[in-house]
Amino acid sequence: MDTAAIVACSAELFRASLGTPIEMPMKPLHTSVSAASARLILTIAACALSPMASAQSWQPTRPVALVVGATPGGSLDLTARLLQRIFDQHKLVPTPVVVLNKAGAGQGLAWEYMQDRGNDGHAIALGGPNLASNPILGAHPIGYQNVTTIALLLDDYTALIVRAESPLKSMRDVVERLRKDPGALSIGVGPALGGGAHIGAVVGLKAAGVRIPDVRFVVYKSAGEAMIAAMSGEVDLASGTVANYPPQLAAGRIRVIGITAPQRLGGAMANAPTLREQGIDGIFTTWRSVIGPQGMGRAHVAYWENALAAAVKTDEWQKDLARNFWTPNFTTGPAARQYVEQQGKLFREIFTELGMAKPPATREAMPR
């Protein structure tokens, strides 16, 4: 409670103790408690609740920057702009929310920009697995420990696919081959080693007992290019987020042999098996979150938690989830922070085993 609130409550308590009427509507109390005592009790209760009221009373007073670590038009950018539209159309935020694209350093430049805007609640950003991986890979020094996790939004699972004519009929076939010889098959991923497509495949293969440092991963500019390589037979299979594949799946050009989700997805992916149902306990998601600068105040966090909670209930948000085969996972508070911390431990274990862990990077060394 701030000083002004303390003074106000002290004055009210003093007046109530003297039986002085408090300027607030009251219904008659049909009990043996005196009116003065009742006023005193109500005043004490109001003062006790005032920190909560104070924490929920803040709201933006000028335009808010929603910073995205990607170029316009990509999946991250579209998610940010959807949130922007929902905030505006449903009047969830009283001031304009402006999407700012700051691509580079594995989204690290976006988080750096957010940090530099200050922690007064007027700058937030989209987050994801790079918050866990960047510091380990030396991509950028800002990680989950250097920001405020406001909320998890959704899960975006990984799918492993093969061309329609492939002799590989299931992930069991893949695992059987790779257990005998980890270099027997090639797996296309994009846009880089250490990204979601790569780690999604690694998590599944590691859970199946494959020696992952010896697996042959072929890097392409995007998951789409990796899919084309698999369709042409240039690689044996490809890995990427689920939304990349429905058109080619419907056309009969590819088969999905495993998804890193805990249960099957719906729609066009209803017949795609999970790794788990094939005896492989490999679950991985390219999760998305909303973050704030390090040291963000409780009132600012509470405001954005409430605004986001309202946003994810809208029809627009739900339709976008279904269209992209995303799974809702709105989580706030300690549970969200614990999940991100667990992801950090997972990534450190994987990158250490792969020999990809590097010394921490510095902001000064980052490309601009």
Q: Which residues contact 245 (CB under 8 A, 6 or more apart)?
A: 159, 161, 227, 254, 256
Task: Give the chain's mean pLDDT.
Answer: 87
**For residues 266 and 217, is the Cβ–Cβ distance under 8 A?**
no
Q: Is the pLDDT of residue 283 over 90?
A: yes
> What per-residue confidence (pLDDT) applies to 50?
41
> What per-residue confidence (pLDDT) applies to 362?
72
The stretch 330-351 carries a mean pLDDT of 97
Same fold, 64-155+287-365 and 158-278: yes
> What per-residue confidence (pLDDT) applies to 260?
98
Architecture of domain 158-278 in CATH? 3-Layer(aba) Sandwich (3.40)
Q: Which of 63, 62, 60 is nearest to 98 (CA)?
A: 63
Q: Hey, what amino acid is at 312?
A: V
> What per-residue confidence (pLDDT) applies to 131?
96
What's the pTM? Answer: 0.82
Q: Which of 145, 150, 151, 170 is nearest to 160 (CA)?
A: 170
> What per-residue confidence (pLDDT) applies to 364?
62
Q: Is the pLDDT of residue 217 over 60?
A: yes
The stretch 170-176 carries a mean pLDDT of 97
Q: Is the pLDDT of residue 24 over 50?
A: no
Percent pLDDT > 90 in the chain is 80
Positive or negative torsion for Cα 350, 352, 358, 361: positive
Domain-wise residue ranges, the chain: 3-57, 64-155+287-365, 158-278
Architecture of domain 64-155+287-365 in CATH? 3-Layer(aba) Sandwich (3.40)
Q: Is the pLDDT of residue 182 over 90?
A: yes
**For residues 159 and 240, is the Cβ–Cβ distance under 8 A?**
yes
pLDDT in tens, 112-124: 999 999 999 999 9
Q: Is the pLDDT of residue 79 over 50?
A: yes
Judged by DSSP in three states, 254 sits in strand
326 vs 15, which has greater pLDDT?
326
Q: Is the pLDDT of residue 366 over 60?
A: no
Per-residue confidence band for 32, with pLDDT thresholds at 50, 70 and 90: very low
pLDDT in tens, 94-106: 999 999 999 999 9
